[in-house]
Structure 1
Amino acid sequence: MLRLFLGIGLLSATALTPPAFAADARTLQIVVSTDRQSLAVYDGDQVVATSKVSTGKQGHSTPNGIFSILEKERYHASNIYSNSPMPFMQRLTWSGIALHESGYVPGYPASHGCVRMPKSFAQKLYQMTAPGVHVVITNQPLVPQPIEHATLFQPSAPALDLPLFSDLQLRPTNAAFLPKSEPIQVATNDTASLPVPPAAPRLALADQAPLRILITRRDLRGNVRDLQALLTGMGYDAGAPDGMLGPTTVQAIQDFKKAHNVTTTGGLVSAELMKAVYAIAGKGEPPNGEVMVRQAFKPVFEAPAAIADPEEALGTHFFTAHDVDKIDGKAEWYGVTLENNLSRDAMKRLGITSEEQSGSLNAAGHALDRITIPDDARRKIEDMLTAGSSLTISDTGVGPETGDGTDFITITKNGGSSNRG
């Protein structure tokens, strides 16, 4: 299924293949190893380029996790370290982590948290990439491997005679997360000289931005949002379904519990309360998972998901889609499994008692086996799937670096303080 490779011989000096090999930046993936102080660029499982790097030194270590390039600047100066130059900067977080050129890349940790690259390589990499290209930072180097699994999404051609997704009723995401990015560009054909039936609109799917999909455990915000919708639907005014526990929502919960003689223990939004509300609303069991979708750094939609054996850690897994064929309904997926550094407090909060599956050789396959996604959410994702789309599976959910103008940023190991430069 999916193998975790820990011992690959990356070159310590810069190496690049012909640019034509990496013509589509959407499918590129950059892997940085902090142990090897190396960087490799992959297209699928093929190496496009390698280089030595210098990551964060002690006290300023580079965080591990899944990132993407948020913006690029040829000439950038650090806003923390006396305007220190950071040429050919490719930003990974709005808090200051970036890839950039440096005149000092000794091949051991030497930065304040950024990933330093030699001058010639930094310039060439800058030319190869585009915003949205993923960067995976780990201790040991990883090699993306092909993987097939029924849970992984396969493309479907959109209907041409109906508005796309008009029949779907998926929950919109919170508008507070809307970023400051440009709108998605959709290519159109010049039809001045060709008769085009008005009832057959077409989308230029190749020009759509790739999807960013995160499957994780349901958090308090998701539970509150569903409670608000269900309680309001049953006649208890819980306010707008925004996931916030305001006084209107608290009053609605109290009124519901009193009307139905429901007693709970623990916090206000307890497992007993969720089960009671879902049961009385006739909605079955409450979901314990969430699927979230972003595109072009903007939230698109969220939907519930089910995770079997929730006491087992899912681990952290990252998959990218290549060669998406809408006609044949096929996509090739490549994946890596990252180290999963869950603290004891995090395991207790998430109800995890075992990490046996997440530490196995087939950890990604086990995680995919346990996930069930509603058919309507799956159809919407598969209608929008393009080359370069990615899927992250993680126990820890939306990290603090995820926000306006970002993809989903998953931190598996925090760096030190003041990680800039």
Structure 2
Amino acid sequence: MNLRGWRRNRHIFAFASLAASVFISDLSAGPASAQGAFPFFDGEAAAPRMARHRRHRSNKDRIHRKAKAADAPLPNPGNAAGAVTPEPPLFLIVSIADQQVSIYNHAGLVARSMVSTGIAGHPTPRGVFTIIGRERYHRSNIYSGAPMPLMQRVTWSGIAMHVGVVPGHPASHGCIRLPAQFAARLWGMTKIGERVIISPRETGPVDFVHPALPTPKMVAPGPAETTVAAKTSAPLAAEPRLNPAQYAEQLRAKAVTEAAAAAKRAKEAAADVVSSKAEAAQAAKERDAAEAMNASALSRAEKATAFLEAARAGRDASLLVTARSGAVDGVRVGKAEAAAATYEKAEAAKDAAQAALADASARLEAAKGAFAARDAQLTDALKRLSDATAASQAAAIAETQARRRTMPVSVLISRKDRRIYVRQGLAPLFDAPVSLRDPEAPLGSHVYIATAATGDGTALQWSVVSLPPQAPEARSERKSRRAVDIDSGTSAQGPASGPAEALERVELPQDIRDRIAERLWLGASIIVSDLPLSGETGNVGTDITVKLR
């Protein structure tokens, strides 16, 4: 390549070199180099961007300066004395208006960073989401394979958090761009199942206590959890109780053991089938050989019988001729003796053929019996394999369900749908009708998150995040106002309920409360909203999602 060609493509080499260095060091480089290594994200076409950057060097420099500033840490209690450690469960709040993301846990603010959300025409959806997938080296399947490092997915329709240029204003195609250094830090803190709240403007969690919040159900340990000390303790000693997470872990461990045992039995049954098939095939081969041998012996016996009959006829004819002649004729006598000898040989041959046929028939019967036994053995092995496979599949499903039970439970109470939806482990558990006091009055949208256990470990501490109403200018293009504006939280019936009143207006049957209590522990979230369940919520692989209008 000549010098002119190198100059024309130098930005490509620079991108490849910087990207490789950042990935090899696992994004541990300084803020400036890490941020500058990812100039093309969210599907912006590479060629137009490169041409634009060649024409507008000053614009490129300005964006990179803002990118460096975005990667610098914002004022954060986590950087000062008495820092808040990123102890799970965590939840994230993205403010569209402020272009920033805040990470919280039970102790308060853990970290904060600038972000870049969707531009006009490709807005970032607002509402309540969940981290439903993570991929360290992801490429977009929508925008021509654009690189999206440290991707944490919140919808399957293409919205995620990932490394990208953060110029200080909305610039993406809907995703939430993160500075490289912060994205690497966030990657190490978060996990699938944690809540992401995307708000029109800044909002934050408030510690919340209310008797209407569900209480986790403590259960007695199973046999696997009963220790020797517990068995030998005094009869009046209180038996330790397990919280839902501990009980779920006990179920998971049991399910893993049972699934492994069932898989082993299925593997052994499959090996038995292979062995039985080989034995049955060999028995069939021996049966076929015995049938061929018996057919050959039968043919020889039939030929020997025919030859004997012919020899008998020849002998009898020769004797008759000799008797009729009445004279001694040496020639005739010789023929008679020869015919008699032939007959004796034919008789001996017939006896041998019959004996061989009897032996071949016995061998055939034995081979048929052996094949029938091997075939029955194969049939039994196939049945055992079928049963073992079904048991292994059932055990695998039970293991999957047990693993899901270790993840946080999610609940949505929707005024729009008049239903309660309950999910866990990115899969549905159940849904049911729900009654509301003053059903026409707006509830607002409130997210209650179980952030910590109380001192004795039998109850939960909660935080609540109330989504703010939508700004009036965001609704200016609507053709008409409905009687109830679920975005603004106002209606003809008055303003939306606060978090306490919203809970008090929900009337849940006791059996539903009990079913939730059995699975309720840290990271659980309860959403009370005017809004319906979003279409982003599918069967498996998604969590409860609520989108603001």
Superposition TM-score tier, normalisation by shorter sequence: 0.5 to 0.7
Please name the residue that 1:124 is paired with. 185
Please name the residue that 2:542 is paired with. 406
Q: 2:457 & 2:185 partners in 1: Cα distance?
A: 35
The answer to whether residue 210 in structure 2 is matched with residue 149 in structure 1 is: yes
Q: Secondary structure at the match of 1:48?
A: strand
The higher radius of gyration belongs to: 2
Please name the residue that 1:54 is paired with. 116
Higher strand proportion: 1
AA of the residue aligned to 2:185: K
- Structure 1's 76 and 150: CA in aligned 2 closer, same or farther, altered over 3 A? same
Q: Secondary structure at the match of 2:407?
A: coil
Q: Secondary structure at the match of 1:127?
A: helix
Deviation at 1:44, TM superposition (A): 2.5
- Structure 1's 214 and 78: CA in aligned 2 closer, same or farther, altered over 3 A? same
Instruction: Name the TM-score, length of structure 1 as normaliser.
Output: 0.63
The answer to whether residue 494 in structure 2 is matched with residue 356 in structure 1 is: yes
Deviation at 1:322, TM superposition (A): 2.1
Q: Secondary structure at the match of 1:105?
A: coil
Which of 376, 396, 401 lines up with 2:511 in the alignment? 376
Deviation at 1:340, TM superposition (A): 4.6
Q: Secondary structure at the match of 1:384?
A: coil
AA of the residue aligned to 1:118: P
Please, what is the CA RMSD of the aligned residues? 3.3
Please name the residue that 2:229 is paired with. none
Q: For the Cα contact (< 8 Å) 2:405–2:424, is it kept in 1?
A: no
User: 1:125-140, aligned counterparts within 5 Å?
Assistant: 125-140=186-201
User: 1:164-203, aligned counterparts within 5 Å?
Assistant: 186-188=251-253
Deviation at 1:217, TM superposition (A): 2.8
Q: 1:213 & 1:321 partners in 2: Cα distance?
A: 12
User: 1:18-417, aligned counterparts within 5 Å?
Assistant: 21-24=85-88, 27-44=89-106, 46-102=108-164, 104-159=165-220, 186-188=251-253, 208-217=406-415, 219=417, 289-324=418-453, 329-340=458-469, 344-345=481-482, 347=484, 354=492, 356-358=494-496, 363-403=498-538, 404-413=540-549
- How big is each residue's C-alpha offset from its partner over 1:127-169, in whole Å with a ceiling of 9 and x where there is no partner? 111011111111211111011112211112135589xxxxxxx
- How big is each residue's C-alpha offset from its partner over 1:381-419, in whole Å with a ceiling of 9 and x where there is no partner? 112111000001111221111113111111014xxxxxx
Q: For the Cα contact (< 8 Å) 2:411–2:422, is it kept in 1?
A: yes
- How big is each residue's C-alpha offset from its partner over 1:40-68, in whole Å with a ceiling of 9 and x where there is no partner? 10013511111111111111111111111
- How big is each residue's C-alpha offset from its partner over 1:331-366, in whole Å with a ceiling of 9 and x where there is no partner? 1110111135598458399xx9535241xxx61122
- How big is each residue's C-alpha offset from its partner over 1:24-44, in whole Å with a ceiling of 9 and x where there is no partner? 2xx101111111111110013
- How big is each residue's C-alpha offset from its partner over 1:181-219, in whole Å with a ceiling of 9 and x where there is no partner? xxx874438xx9xxxxxxxxxxx9998211001111363
Deviation at 1:80, TM superposition (A): 2.0
Instruction: Name the TM-score, length of structure 2 as normaliser.
Output: 0.49
Q: 2:492 & 2:432 partners in 1: Cα distance?
A: 26
The answer to whether residue 149 in structure 2 is matched with residue 14 in structure 1 is: no
Q: 1:313 & 1:118 partners in 2: Cα distance?
A: 38
Q: For the Cα contact (< 8 Å) 2:127–2:545, is it kept in 1?
A: yes
AA of the residue aligned to 1:354: A
AA of the residue aligned to 2:525: S
User: What percent of counterpart residues are identical?
Assistant: 38
Higher helix proportion: 2
AA of the residue aligned to 1:150: P
- How big is each residue's C-alpha offset from its partner over 1:277-330, in whole Å with a ceiling of 9 and x where there is no partner? xxxxxxxxxxxx322110000111123321000110111110100223596642
Which 4+ residue blocks in structure 1 deviate beyond 6 angstroms? 204-207
Please name the residue that 1:179 is paired with. none
Deviation at 1:110, TM superposition (A): 0.6
Matched positions, count = 294
Greater relative contact order (Cα 8 A, min sep 6): structure 1 or 2?
Answer: 1
Please name the residue that 1:200 is paired with. none
Q: For the Cα contact (< 8 Å) 1:45–1:145, is it kept in 2?
A: no
Q: 2:209 & 2:537 partners in 1: Cα distance?
A: 28
- How big is each residue's C-alpha offset from its partner over 1:74-108, in whole Å with a ceiling of 9 and x where there is no partner? 11111222211111000010000000001x21111
Q: For the Cα contact (< 8 Å) 1:313–1:395, is it kept in 2?
A: yes
- Structure 1's 31 and 20: CA in aligned 2 closer, same or farther, altered over 3 A? closer
Q: 1:145 & 1:45 partners in 2: Cα distance?
A: 11
Q: Secondary structure at the match of 1:140?
A: coil
Unaligned runs of 5+ in 1: 1-10, 163-183, 193-203, 220-288, 414-421
Q: For the Cα contact (< 8 Å) 1:89–1:99, is it kept in 2?
A: yes
